[in-house]
Amino acid sequence: MAVVTMTMAKALNEGLRRAMEKDPKVVLMGEDIGKLGGVFRITDGLQKDFGQDRVIDTPLGESAIVGTAVGLAMRGYRTVCEIQFDGFVFPAFDQIVSQVAKLHKRSDGVYTMGLVIRLPFQGGIGAIEHHSESPEAYFAHTPGLRVVSCSTPNDAYWMIQQATHHDDPIIFCEPKSRYWEKGEVDLDSPPHDLFDAVVRHPGTDVTVVGYGSSVKTMLRAAEAAAAEGTSLEVIDLCGVAPIDFDTLERSLNKTGRLVVVQEAPRTASVGSEIVAELTERCFYSLRAPGLRVTGYHVPYPPARIEEDYRPTVDRVLDAVDRVMGFES
């Protein structure tokens, strides 16, 4: 088994490279992704190796990027679009929800929409306005779209390849604050299917669910809780739409307590859906109401105070204490 250590950014780069080597119809498009290699260098070196016809520097126009990708998908290409920052996806919102999400159904299956929209999302890098958003709930709410998020280099390497081979359009959310963190990558076999939730830390007392950058926060909370005698089962969602509720249900039926963690605001969010659905499924197993640890219902704050907005280990542990405080 070939196992190497690399950053998440490098893992995404290598995953894209492997996808392009396997399928000549995989094409990359985005602003500054060619010679520059993208603002986060995710596509570094790919234009040099695959040429300007397959790694395309586009004009500054997200709607045009996605609209062109729709036409390519209708012709059988598998286009991977890079949205430079999360807050820049909204100029393409009409294309995504009106065309990308609906063309398969509208054409009665004549056309598939095998395209990936890469979206660096969430905060933690000290960026300015429109550079630290968490817009995943908009897309998870839209029938016809699938949404995933990686949290480790190994998942990044495999999930981007799985996404490029999928016949449905996928919003591929990348936690930009984790781009430079290193981890082991198994180059031989994928760790799980694209939309499967993964138990990152087994436990017995509280089920803690999240995705993207929140996974590391949850794992740190699990370590701290263990020192105080509380066992957290940490689950990485991976698939944001569809959600692997079967895995979550098995865990919650065991623990009876639920905490969901996300950077996005709590109102009408992915976390809200998880709490609602699991309350329906696991009502008689619950020993406490499900709680959400989220960003606040305000625009993302300036960099100087962003850590007061993002979920922290202390906020997760506070929610754990609250669910543990309920009587059985």
Across the range 111-137, mean pLDDT stands at 95
What residues act catalytically? 131
Sheet bearing 206-210, strands edge to edge = 198-201, 232-236, 206-210, 258-265, 291-295
> Are residue 159 and residue 303 in the same domain, yes or no?
no
Total number of domains constituting the chain: 2
Q: Residue 11 and residue 173: Cα distance in Å, rounded?
A: 14
Question: Is the distance from CB of 164 to CB of 116 less than 8 angstroms?
Answer: yes
The predicted pLDDT at position 326 comes to: 86
> Are residue 157 and residue 202 in the same domain, yes or no?
no
The predicted pLDDT at position 246 comes to: 98
> Are residue 7 and residue 135 in the same domain, yes or no?
yes
* pLDDT tens digits, 241-269: 999 999 999 999 999 999 999 999 999 99
The predicted pLDDT at position 323 comes to: 97
> Are residue 87 and residue 134 in the same domain, yes or no?
yes
What residue numbers bound the domain in which 287 lies? Answer: 198-324
The verdict on residue 191 lying in a domain is: no
Please name which of 146, 281, 274 lies closest in space to residue 293, comparing C-alpha atoms. 274
Across the range 200-215, mean pLDDT stands at 98
> Which CATH number characterizes residue 162's domain?
3.40.50.970
* pLDDT tens digits, 40-89: 999 999 999 999 999 999 999 999 999 999 999 999 999 999 999 999 99
User: What does the DSSP 8-state code read for residue 265?
Assistant: E
Choosing from 153, 186, 219, the residue where a domain stops is 186
Across the range 268-278, mean pLDDT stands at 98
Question: Is the distance from CB of 156 to CB of 186 less than 8 angstroms?
Answer: no
Q: What is the chain's mean pLDDT, rounded?
A: 96
Q: Where does the pLDDT of residue 327 fall: very low under 50, low under 70, confident under 90, or very high at 90 and above? A: low
High-pLDDT (> 90) share of the chain, %? 98
The predicted pLDDT at position 115 comes to: 96
- Residue 14 backbone dihedrals phi, psi, to 5 degrees: -70, -35
Q: Residue 304 and residue 100: Cα distance in Å, rounded?
A: 37
> Are residue 145 and residue 264 in the same domain, yes or no?
no
> Are residue 141 and residue 262 in the same domain, yes or no?
no
The verdict on residue 192 lying in a domain is: no
CB half-sphere exposure, 228, CA atoms < 13 A: 12
The verdict on residue 235 lying in a domain is: yes
The predicted pLDDT at position 88 comes to: 96
Q: Residue 134 and residue 295: Cα distance in Å, rounded?
A: 9
The predicted pLDDT at position 60 comes to: 94
User: What does the DSSP 8-state code read for residue 266?
Assistant: S
> Are residue 246 and residue 181 in the same domain, yes or no?
no
Across the range 214-218, mean pLDDT stands at 98
The predicted pLDDT at position 270 comes to: 98
pTM of the model: 0.96
> Are residue 269 and residue 291 in the same domain, yes or no?
yes
Q: Where does the pLDDT of residue 1 fall: very low under 50, low under 70, confident under 90, or very high at 90 and above? A: low
> Are residue 39 and residue 168 in the same domain, yes or no?
yes
> Are residue 114 and residue 209 in the same domain, yes or no?
no
Across the range 101-129, mean pLDDT stands at 95
The predicted pLDDT at position 328 comes to: 53
Q: 298-301: long-range contacts at Cβ-Cβ below 8 A with a sequence spacing of 24 or more?
A: 298/265, 299/129, 300/123, 300/129, 300/132, 300/133
